[in-house]
Structure 1
Amino acid sequence: MRVLIVPELYRPRDASANATLNDAVTWVREWLRQDPNIHVYWLLPHRGTANYEREDVLADRDRVTLLEADSFMEGTDSEYVFTESGYTEDQLRVIRKRIYEELGYVDVVVDQLRQGREDLLKWLLLLSGHRAEEPKPFDVIVNVHDLMLPFKYATDGYRDSYHRKLEVAHAVLADGCWFKAGLDATELPVFGREFLLETVIEDALDDAVMTESPIDFSRFEERYAKEPGWLHIAGSGWKKKHPELLIEIAEDLHREYGIKTVFTSMDDIPESYTDYPWVEAYPRASWEEYERMLRKGDIAICATEYDTLARTWFEQAASGQVLIVRDEPWVQDCVPDDSPLVVPVEELGNRARWVVEHWDDAVAANQRLIDHVREVRSPERAGQKTLSDMAWRVDEKVDQYADVHRKAGSRRSAVGRAIDRTEPDSIALDELNEAGAKVTRDGEPLLSHEWCSITDLVFALRTRGYHDTGTAGAPVFRRPSDPDSPGRLSGRSQRDVR
């Protein structure tokens, strides 16, 4: 199975470590571990401009291919407006060069951009040699990170109801949909039924997957101080996170208990928050600075109104910072029932005082919270759910193309004869293509003929029981050692792992 994954523009070495990239990297790491035959293509900005290394996206190994290209409006002063926008000519060209010109292909596209998907779809259909009367050779899955619901992005003057409606329509009309947060999955039909048929929404949500933003907790060391000395306020300063309330609580904790505060932010930090002798601040913090403060802080507070299964606060908690959480619907799946650390917004300050005064009890409650989060946001669990969703889609395509091959046997008989001329247990697509010269009337390779496409080669092999071994460059297909094996993908065709 070959997957093309497209996250929004990011800066992975920032302190925020871009949650969308972290999710995707965690998926890829789990896919590589759980399926020895998967190959992943990343479509990302150039490393030189986006400040990341190949190993940051696992592209330092054979089964991951990095496609680097300029994104839309990259390098301009308006770049932030278009981080989720459409595809550039440079991106489309690199897809052709690094995938299809190397006789590769894609089975699944995991696309997080809010716009431009129709251009990508058209391009991939063209490159794959798709014929109008045949099944689409790949599925496009929309990765919903932060749906533009009516109560979100209220201060963004460059977004309006048109963009909100369009994003919902694109999500439900795609082949599949992955939701990071239950909030978005719950609220999408509430908003969407105002302008879409309810049956369209229901069909999309029936097959949707909750990815639950996995966190690799092995990266963090849960060590607690003997007594609290630092409050750590991390992440962005967006209004929904109520930074003004956090600084009020910070002032109270310092006045009553001498607790100091450290800020780490992906943004600039207002001087009004940092102009105190007891505040240490790291505006536009690097990942290294953020990690150091994870080890330094003792208390963390989440005051946000809503979020798409946030990472930063739980990374803090997993580092030994007692996490006090505002009680809102979005967080309910992340915390155990009856946790004393989950309180209404008006109680956050008082609960912070309780944490300082009952430190041992607070630490025990935080340990229970982290045990719960480790389970519900397990990378292994998220990897299995997403991999299973992709695998059954490919299996379904194999069945569809088996019917196509039976109905159009004369046109594709040359492909079958070429397969018979190759090594029986292992076939590379470039070798199969060249083998066509021995069976075609004009003595030319298979793909030099208008009637033959890369899709024909791939599914001709699959319908005979071969599977892609996930190698870089021209794919290599292998027949299972068990002659009775149906050649399915990793045994993960079940759709009930959600």
Structure 2
Amino acid sequence: MKTVSAVGSPVQTMRVLVVPELYRPDDATANGTLNDAVALVADWLDRDDGLHVYWLLSPPEVADYDPEYVHADRERVTLVEAEPFMHGHEHEDAFSETGYTEDQFRAIEAEIFDESGYVDVVVDQQVTGRYDLYKWLHRLGGGREAAVQPTELVGYVHDLRLPFKRHGREMPDGAATKAEMAAMTYTDGLWFKAGVDAERLGEYGTGVLGEELLNELVTDALETGSPLDFADFEERYADAPERLHVAGSGWGKKNLDVVLDAAERLHDEFGIRTLMTNMDPIPDGMAAREFVDAYPECSRERYEAALEAGDLAIVASDHETMPRTPFEQAASGQVLVVRDEPWAYDCVPEDYRLAGDLADLEALAVRAVRNWDEAVAENRRMVRHVRDVRGPAQCGRRTYRDLAERVDRRVAAFEREADECRDVVERVVSETDGGVSLDELADRVADAAITDLVYALRSLGYEDAGNAGTPVFRPPE
């Protein structure tokens, strides 16, 4: 995995298009994909007062979100609205990673390029439509006529489709895994939410990709982390535990039988009740147990109340990809007993004393209750570690630097290769006081790709103001 410098600040401002996958297409804020991207965008905007972000998303009334949630109430954020592929069909959910429609491409053209805008980097969570998006942005940015590549495409892997995961085994013969890995081969870079998925790419990819290419993809990839804003949670612990909180969706991988057996013992020995919260229905056999208080299809408010009420959490999942829920629980003062699996160590310290094999989780939970003060201290230590790994500033810094370096490299390449265009632009802007609007510059410089105009201005020290509509470049001070 590549590392990105944490010091210094890039010279160039940027315009970035973000395309999240909404696996819950009618409830945008229930998608971890979007939640992570929103946190990253917030940090980028704070770091760079000239950054502009474009979102390609379903309209708010379709995906049930407020524009303010994706920061689209700010001038430096533009919401490009279009309904996704298969919208409204009963099997829409099967195509959440499949862009794109003609309406989406026309919306990108209208909102960005018809305004003489441009896209430096697209951060794409889709899979099977990726080449079409790449081709469209390349064409609109000037294509082969541009002196440097108009748009770099970063494939943002939220949860790698592997054969042992639900969405990796939906199709026969590993087709989902093969499709995602094939789409990685024509990206300009990969972001992995979790390091464990990058490692798994190296392991499972050998059956799909050549060793040299696979090593290149993994070596050049960036582990972003999944940002959690710990200011949203109050880490307050009970004097003694009274409630186990079982939360989150994806029942098949969570080994709920093991968790509920442990819950029953905690109730029998210590009187601890179990809260179950889920945005999906809870199977009757689980919800009907005498010691369980179940809240199926619960609201965010109900879940947050359970975060405050719960004291203990047991996570027995076969696999996760830097999950949010267990660490929201831990950050809310719920002592976390977690399965000793590779996915856990993207977040918890290697020597976390409340991690154990599946068969040992019940005993670990009992020990945590009997030695509550020690368990609380260990959970506090773990939460401090997670803050370092998943704090929004840390995740934002890693990803912002990666974006900025992609632009900086192209500025350097342009300066080496495009003297004639830069000289023409320099003559034109020398006759202009103040900022330079890209549409006006395009009118005065014939036959130049929009990308070349952007990089000519950058090479002359001009910076994009990050404004909505047609970009305006500020002169060097």
TM-score band w.r.t. shorter chain: over 0.9
When normalised by structure 2's length, the TM-score is: 0.92
The answer (yes or no) to whether the contact 1:87–1:116 under 8 Å persists in 2 is yes
Q: Distance in 2 between matches of 1:155 and 1:330?
A: 17
Residues 157 and 137 of structure 1: is their aligned pair in 2 closer, same or farther, counting only changes over 3 Å? closer
Tell me by how many angstroms 1:12 deviates. 9.3
Does residue 347 (structure 1) correspond to residue 356 (structure 2)? The answer is no
Q: Distance in 2 between matches of 1:302 and 1:15?
A: 25
Q: Which position in structure 1 is the counterpart of 2:431?
A: 421
Q: Distance in 1 between matches of 2:422 and 2:272?
A: 74
Q: Which position in structure 2 is the counterpart of 1:495?
A: none
Tell me by how many angstroms 1:87 deviates. 0.7
Unpaired runs of 5+ in structure 1? Answer: 437-445, 482-498
Q: Which position in structure 2 is the counterpart of 1:31?
A: 44
Tell me by how many angstroms 1:413 deviates. 5.6
SS in 1 for 2:293: strand
Counterpart residue type for residue 43 of structure 1:
L
Q: Distance in 1 between matches of 2:409 and 2:422?
A: 20
Counterpart residue type for residue 198 of structure 2:
A
Tell me by how many angstroms 1:155 deviates. 7.9
Once the two structures are superposed, what CA deviation does each residue of 1:217-246 show, in whole Å capped at 9, x if it has no partner? 111111112221111111113311112222
Given candidates 134, 142, 149, the residue that maps to 1:121 is 134
Mean CA deviation greater in 8-17 or 315-324: 8-17
Q: Distance in 2 between matches of 1:318 and 1:25?
A: 20
Tell me by how many angstroms 1:256 deviates. 2.0
Kindly report which structure 2 residues correspond to 1:226-245, keeping only aligned pairs within 5 A, or say none.
226-245=239-258
Once the two structures are superposed, what CA deviation does each residue of 1:34-89 show, in whole Å capped at 9, x if it has no partner? 12211111111111121111121111111111111101112211011111112111
The answer (yes or no) to whether the contact 2:25–2:96 under 8 Å persists in 1 is no
Given candidates 460, 464, 485, the residue that maps to 2:460 is 464
Residues 14 and 102 of structure 1: is their aligned pair in 2 closer, same or farther, counting only changes over 3 Å? closer
Tell me by how many angstroms 1:131 deviates. 2.2
Tell me by how many angstroms 1:156 deviates. 4.0
Residues 155 and 91 of structure 1: is their aligned pair in 2 closer, same or farther, counting only changes over 3 Å? closer
Q: Distance in 2 between matches of 1:472 and 1:432?
A: 17
Residues 222 and 179 of structure 1: is their aligned pair in 2 closer, same or farther, counting only changes over 3 Å? same
Does residue 368 (structure 1) correspond to residue 391 (structure 2)? The answer is no
Does residue 53 (structure 1) correspond to residue 103 (structure 2)? The answer is no
Once the two structures are superposed, what CA deviation does each residue of 1:11-49 show, in whole Å capped at 9, x if it has no partner? 599698322112111111111111221111111111112
Does residue 211 (structure 1) correspond to residue 224 (structure 2)? The answer is yes
SS in 2 for 1:24: helix
Counterpart residue type for residue 394 of structure 2:
R
Mean CA deviation greater in 3-12 or 283-292: 3-12
Q: Which position in structure 2 is the counterpart of 1:110?
A: 123
Q: Distance in 2 between matches of 1:346 and 1:381?
A: 35
Given candidates 189, 209, 226, the residue that maps to 1:196 is 209
Counterpart residue type for residue 427 of structure 2:
R
Tell me by how many angstroms 1:158 deviates. 3.4
The count of corresponding residues between Structure 1 and Structure 2 is 464
Kindly report which structure 2 residues correspond to 1:269-280, keeping only aligned pairs within 5 A, or say none.
269-280=282-293
Q: Which position in structure 2 is the counterpart of 1:453?
A: 449
Counterpart residue type for residue 454 of structure 1:
I
Counterpart residue type for residue 461 of structure 2:
G
Kindly report which structure 2 residues correspond to 1:468-483, keeping only aligned pairs within 5 A, or say none.
468-481=464-477
Q: Equivalent pairs: percent with the same residue?
A: 50
Residues 372 and 134 of structure 1: is their aligned pair in 2 closer, same or farther, counting only changes over 3 Å? same
Once the two structures are superposed, what CA deviation does each residue of 1:269-327 show, in whole Å capped at 9, x if it has no partner? 11111113432222222222211111111111111111111111000000011110101
Does residue 433 (structure 1) correspond to residue 442 (structure 2)? The answer is yes
Backbone CA RMSD of aligned residues: 2.1
Once the two structures are superposed, what CA deviation does each residue of 1:408-448 show, in whole Å capped at 9, x if it has no partner? x2x7765443322222x4222233235x1xxxxxxxxx4xx
Residues 308 and 468 of structure 1: is their aligned pair in 2 closer, same or farther, counting only changes over 3 Å? same
Kindly report which structure 2 residues correspond to 1:37-436, keeping only aligned pairs within 5 A, or say none.
37-131=50-144, 134-153=147-166, 156-158=169-171, 160-406=173-419, 409=420, 414-423=424-433, 425-434=434-443, 436=444
SS in 2 for 1:323: strand
Counterpart residue type for residue 233 of structure 2:
F
The answer (yes or no) to whether the contact 2:170–2:176 under 8 Å persists in 1 is no
Tell me by how many angstroms 1:176 deviates. 0.5
Mean CA deviation greater in 245-254 or 383-392: 245-254
Counterpart residue type for residue 428 of structure 1:
S
The answer (yes or no) to whether the contact 2:153–2:187 under 8 Å persists in 1 is yes
Mean CA deviation greater in 112-121 or 4-13: 4-13
Counterpart residue type for residue 30 of structure 2:
A
The answer (yes or no) to whether the contact 2:263–2:274 under 8 Å persists in 1 is yes
SS in 1 for 2:457: helix
The answer (yes or no) to whether the contact 2:161–2:168 under 8 Å persists in 1 is no
Counterpart residue type for residue 422 of structure 1:
T
Tell me by how many angstroms 1:153 deviates. 2.6
Q: Distance in 1 between matches of 2:91 and 2:382?
A: 40
